[in-house]
Amino acid sequence: MNIHLTLAPLISLIAGILILVMPRLLNFIVAIYLIVIGLVGLLGAGNMGLH
């Protein structure tokens, strides 16, 4: 959980810079972000019950 909280601002900063440089990347960045958050939510919720 600490790794996710630490990486979130860094990933946001990199994504923001990339969007400023290449605005067409916005669609891909948003799509990848949503997929990753969805997978973390699904897999993270499933793994919490095992501990």
**pLDDT at residue number 50:** 52
Give the mean pLDDT of 3-26: 78
pLDDT of 20: 86
Domain extent for 22: 2-48
Q: What pLDDT sits at residue 48?
A: 56
Counted domains in the chain: 1
CA distance 7 to 1: 10
The mean per-residue pLDDT over the stretch 14-23 comes to 84
Residue of 1, 37, 32, 2 whose CA lies nearest to 14: 32
| pLDDT for the residue 24 | 83
